[in-house]
Structure 1
């Protein structure tokens, strides 16, 4: 049993103050507070208030905790179990099973709060990670070993795009995958677990969850705990890791709740003053090293569709690829609802994707941008009032937009349409053919929800 180091002197929500009898434990030290029913509440040291007094953040509900409750600690920092024992399992931030299985059998643990790799330890990658989703691979290619994010408001399809990416990525999985469910709905977690089990890749996947009902301290730490698992696979086992996060905004939101409980003055739009540091604490640790690779894809909720929101802009700065989902595109019935005019990727250059890909993507963006400019004229006066050049451009732009829709494997049970996975080269050539007029005879509606263009050209 760990030694008693002090007693609880104040409880404010999930923020605790502890009077320490001996030396004050370092920041990030794990604590355990005994409750009346012989259970315990785990916490982590957050601040030193004065000689003999510390402030801690509870990682669980403080129900049943009383003043004077004994606080124990072995002096170690908050740690997370790591290793192959986590593969095929769903666990919480302590490594406790959430899948109904037995406790983990592992003695390896690593601190959750860790410094990111130094610049000399990082390894740049220039390979493209093909997602099989036409709109992503054309306009917003993902870098292997990079950070990519799917930005969007409520109900525009972030989780569906993320699930489709996982569905396609597991077929090419060279190493292992780690999924961080931050403030996750239990239903979505179950769906993901079932999907991976059905695909036969659960034994190469570790899932670390903190649900919506959990304490803000737990939701704030779970992303770091999952990242610790991924880092162990990368650095100590030398594996390539796919690190998936849903949802990064919930990490920020949990930090905002913790900050409010701590009594800090908020910054812009009510966010915590440490917003930039809180996001960087996760993002700067996601990188490829000389020991192994780590590719990350993250969902980022955009509150009220405000892309100027501080949390969104801070997350955007860290990403190599930023896929933007638009409510306007979704309202017109185009899925995935990718906005090609605002989605960006550092990989979209000739040196990485090739000159042909870059030229086709830029020309597609140009014609889609022109279509957007002409929308009001078309709605008021009709296509007949356009010049011959604009008429041809609009016709082809609409075909490009229809062609970039795609049925997903993860939704075929609901839509009845079989999913398609399309090679990046086929996407580029299909869009090029439409822009060059080789599909002018194909009705626009026949390009809707297909895979490669040859499906209709060869029909």
Structure 2
């Protein structure tokens, strides 16, 4: 019997052409070892570094479960080391693994605002799926020098001590460092709440709070505070809690940065808080040791500096050619017994553009925020301040420095001359003025008026306990009777001789009619 080969070949050709439309090419490997969020896979000879993998899972009854995502971390001669983004309970020795050809991406855009998500951008707030259809790569190379411009635009915290003496600009990286329970998160949350004012202007700041290794209850409390202060509508919370696997804690800061960068590249402004990076470094150390990478100092891997530098270098003020958007980073680092010279703190200090150091002694003495202005610094400095603040804050720093020197001397109990006594009085009042309760940011114009009043001696004859009530009443006065002077200051954003005279006159008028709580 003669077979018509031409007909068979045409049938095969048609089948192949039809099959090609739905053909998916994926390399398949096998798990040879799994445990502690790490899997070693054989057979993925063409896998890329950082590529996403799909691990097939098996349930207890033997049926197939939901696949678990993983990422390639180690490329060895015949084995691939991967981390699992999930509990990996259904992954066992012999499980099938597929390459995806993609790098890790997360959803970005307006759809993530107001939501609480995990490190992969999946919602964990019970409000349904994320509506965003855009995604962005999680780990990208930071913009080059030519794509940037100097930082000159203020990022107002609403915290008097920060905006006056440690000014932060849009596009800056300012480290918040201190022992546990000294108010580090409080300063960052105040900065987020203060951006509420910008959402009434043309240039809103979109905020991203990344919680790494925090308790779920702590994250819930932060979300509740943001909602109570009306800040959640422009904020996204990315949580990789203490109970989350180490790979999730490692990747969460990069995911938050990608979500923030989306707005930066659209010419908008974003603020991202990493709370905290010392826990991310611990998670990365755990992964590295399990992947059998050589340990270095304090058992951290050799690339732990690169872990943070490639993250924080993505914060910048883009050039006007690139839209002029900005990404401001506030990394938080926890110290042990105030040791800022430890490995991870010194690494991050060398990457950032300054630090806000919070001191336990000040915190427990009731000076809150407990900012030590001697060690704290902003390497952008006055460039990130409005002119009026620059004019009044110079004398403030000098007053506080002189006060600290004299305070130690005065404790010896020696007789003090009139000039020294005046300096001590002024310094004590200024320390009281800079105290500020949480969740109560102060507008920068009101800050300038308060600090100007302190610098001109309007607080010197008040009792220390009267300073805060006086400052609060002064804000109310300049919102009502003295509004014309405040409006002029807001318009000029600088103090000339004429405006200084008007301010002094208004302050004197206010002080003459002000009654202290003791007099009332």
TM, length-normalised to structure 2: 0.78
Residue of structure 2 aligned with 1:407, choices 432, 437, 442: 437
- Residue 24 of structure 1 aligns with which residue? 46
* Aligned residue number for residue 66 of structure 2: 39
Q: Which residue of 2 aligns with 1:286?
A: 315
Contact 2:368/2:436 (<8 A) preserved: yes
Return closer, same or farther for 1:326/1:3 CA change in 2, 3 Å cut-off.
Answer: same
Shift of 1:307: 0.9
Q: Is 1:393–2:423 an aligned residue pair?
A: yes
8 Å CA contact retained: 1:407, 1:450: no
Contact 1:36 1:64 in 2 (8 A): yes
Matched, 1:7 2:30: yes
Q: Could you tell me which residue of structure 2 aligns to residue 128 of structure 1?
A: 154
Q: How big is the shift at 1:356?
A: 6.3
User: 1:292-311 alignment to 2 at 5 Å?
Assistant: 292-311=325-344
> Could you say what secondary structure the match of 1:298 adopts?
strand
Partner of 1:159: 185
Deviation at 1:164, TM superposition (A): 1.7
Moved more, 388-397 or 216-225: 388-397
- How far apart are residue 198 of structure 1 and its match? 3.8
* 8 Å Cα contact 1:91-1:97 kept in structure 2: yes
Equivalences for residues 186-335 of structure 1 within 5 A: 186-235=216-265, 237-289=266-318, 290-291=322-323, 292-335=325-368
1:29/1:45 contact within 8 Å kept: yes
Question: Which has the higher Rg, Structure 1 or Structure 2?
Answer: 2
Q: Secondary structure at the match of 1:233?
A: helix
**Contact 1:175–1:241 (CA under 8 A) maintained in structure 2:** yes
Closer/same/farther in 2, CA of residues 398 and 201 from structure 1, 3 Å limit: closer
Shift of 1:199: 4.2
SS in 1 for 2:174: strand
SS at match of 2:305: helix
Match of 2:337, SS state, is: helix
Q: Cα deviation per residue 1:191-232 (whole Å; 9 max; x = unaligned)?
A: 333334344453433322211111111101111111111122
Contact 1:407–1:449, Cα closer than 8 Å, also in 2: no
Aligned to 1:413: none
TM-score for the superposition, normalised by structure 1:
0.88
How big is each residue's C-alpha offset from its partner over 1:318-373, in whole Å with a ceiling of 9 and x where there is no partner?
Answer: 33342111111112111111111111113433x55367644643443334334333
Using the TM superposition, name which of 427-436 and 130-139 deviates more. 427-436
SS in 2 for 1:147: coil
> Is this contact kept in 2: 1:426–1:452, CA < 8 A?
no
Structure 1 residue matching 2:274: 3-state secondary structure: strand
**Aligned position for 1:423:** 443
Indicate the SS of the match to 2:81: strand
RMSD of aligned residue pairs (Cα, Å): 2.6
Q: Runs of 5+ in structure 1 lacking a partner?
A: 410-418
Structure 1 residue 181: deviation in Å? 2.0
Matches of 1:83 and 1:407, distance apart in 2 = 33
Matched with 1:365 is 397
